[in-house]
């Protein structure tokens, strides 16, 4: 039954994505070109990877507000360390740091019993300071050539950044759908107490989910530095709310336990298609913000409503 429900929701999201894409193409002919699709998907891949972690966290019934600053810190560390110690060391260090930051979030949620929103909010503040202190206010360095190639290079006519996203997305979908680890995530989201009583190690699960969220955030940061060649403060700030919106538009319940990454992919792409439509309409930032909010509300009315309380 649950499976059937999520299928219909996911199908709806994809129908919406296709309709929006056709609309954008009718407004602007060259949106149907392969080049534009590539460009759109490369841009979407950063948010798509960031939203992987957010999807996992939201499925457990939590929320991660620290992804943007984790992304920022990861990005500035990569560019600065690349110059000093070489690209490989930089990337490995940043990824480990992402895992540690996420694990700390998870530990706060599990051991200190701080609610996810507040814990990740406090972590955001700490990371913001850490990023400033580390960079002294101005990020230095640049991405190495292979990092740039990992995003903007082409393989059989497809940008490698998109391929990276496809591979990771496939892994995510398999893990969520076909492994016990994935099932446990849904179980915790549906009811932490029941999952605990059925022998699931909630503590380990939650810490690992937040750790993965930190890892994906840093990875998104590395991809962004590869794309633009450098890092700057506030690189990921504009992606925080979209990372949550992509998950919700994708049909996952903000309360956890329902949804999955398949929907999030469409949710991510929808956000970028919308953005391209608004560009055609020459919409200013004010209008963008309003339409953005209205779209999220419209989507919620389509499939985010709860059942009526009956006594």
Partner 1 sequence: MKLNQNKSLHIFLKRNKEAVLAYIILFIVLVLFAINQNDFFTRYGLQSIFNQVITLTIAALAQTLVILTAGIDLSIGAMVGLTNSIAATIMAPVSQAVGGEGPGVLFTVLIVLTVGGLAGFINGVIIVAGRLQPIIVTLATASIYTGIALYIRPTPGGTVSMRYTEILTGRVLTYIPMSAIVLAIFIVVVWLPLRRSKLGQSIYAIGGSEYSAFVSGINVNRTKLWTYTLAGLFSAFAGLLLTAQTASGDPLGSGLFTLNSIAAVVLGGTSLFGGRGGYMGTAAGAAILSLVLGLLIFWGVPSFYQNAVQGLILILALVVGLLQGIRKNKVEAG
Which residue ranges make up the site for partner 1 (CB under 8 A)? 63, 108, 112-115, 117-119, 121-126, 128-130, 132-133, 137, 241, 244-245, 248, 254-255, 284-294, 296-297, 300-301, 304-309, 311
**Minimum CB distance to partner 1 smaller for 175 or for 254:** 254
Q: How far is the CB of 270 from partner 1 (least distance, A)?
A: 14
**Minimum CB distance to partner 1 smaller for 75 or for 151:** 75
**Minimum CB distance to partner 1 smaller for 158 or for 278:** 278
* Residue partners of 129: CB distance under 8 A and separation at least 6: none
**Minimum CB distance to partner 1 smaller for 153 or for 304:** 304
Here the tokens at position 302 are 């389509």
Q: What is the DSSP string of 91-139?
A: HHHHHHHHHHHHHHHHHHHHTS---HHHHHHHHHHHHHHHHHHHHTTS-
Q: Which of 132, 64, 139 shows the shortest CA–CA distance to 98?
A: 64
Q: How far is the CB of 229 from partner 1 (least distance, A)?
A: 25
What is the distance between the alpha carbons of residues 154 and 260, in angstroms, rounded to a whole number?
A: 29
Q: How far is CA 36 from the centre of its chain?
A: 22
**Minimum CB distance to partner 1 smaller for 77 or for 248:** 248
**Minimum CB distance to partner 1 smaller for 25 or for 263:** 263
HSE on the CB side for 175, CA within 13 Å?
A: 15
Q: How far is the CB of 136 from partner 1 (least distance, A)?
A: 8
Q: How far is the CB of 248 from partner 1 (least distance, A)?
A: 5
H or E element at residue 260: none
Q: How far is the CB of 171 from partner 1 (least distance, A)?
A: 27
Q: How far is the CB of 246 from partner 1 (least distance, A)?
A: 12
* 227 touches 41 (CB < 8 A): no
């Amino acid at each position: 039954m649950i499976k059937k429900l999520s299928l219909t929701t996911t199908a709806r999201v994809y129908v919406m994505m296709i309709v929006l894409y056709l609309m954008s193409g009718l407004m602007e002919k060259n949106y149907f070109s392969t080049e534009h699709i590539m460009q759109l998907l490369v841009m979407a891949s950063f948010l798509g990877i960031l939203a992987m972690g957010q999807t996992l966290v939201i499925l457990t019934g939590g929320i991660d507000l620290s992804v943007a600053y984790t992304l920022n810190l990861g990005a500035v560390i990569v560019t600065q360390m690349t110059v000093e110690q070489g690209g490989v060391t930089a990337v490995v260090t940043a990824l480990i740091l992402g895992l540690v930051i996420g694990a700390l979030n998870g530990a706060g949620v599990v051991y200190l019993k701080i609610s996810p929103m507040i814990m990740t909010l406090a972590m955001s503040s700490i990371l913001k300071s850490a990023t400033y202190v580390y960079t002294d206010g101005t990020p230095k360095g640049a991405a190495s050539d292979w990092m740039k190639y990992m995003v903007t290079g082409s393989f059989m006519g497809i940008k490698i950044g998109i391929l990276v996203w496809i591979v990771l997305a496939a892994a995510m979908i398999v893990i969520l759908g076909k492994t016990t680890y994935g099932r446990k995530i849904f179980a915790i989201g549906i009811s932490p107490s029941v999952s605990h009583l059925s022998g699931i190690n909630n503590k380990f699960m939650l810490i690992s989910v937040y750790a993965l969220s930190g890892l994906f955030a840093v990875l998104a940061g590395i991809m962004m530095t590869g794309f633009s060649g450098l890092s700057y403060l506030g690189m990921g700030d504009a992606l925080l709310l979209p990372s949550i919106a992509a998950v919700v538009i994708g049909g996952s319940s903000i309360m956890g336990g329902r949804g999955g990454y398949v929907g999030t992919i469409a949710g991510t792409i929808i956000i970028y298609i919308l953005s391209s439509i608004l560009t055609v309409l020459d919409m200013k930032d004010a209008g963008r913000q309003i339409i953005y909010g209205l779209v999220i509300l419209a989507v919620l009315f389509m499939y985010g409503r709860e059942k009526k309380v009956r006594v």
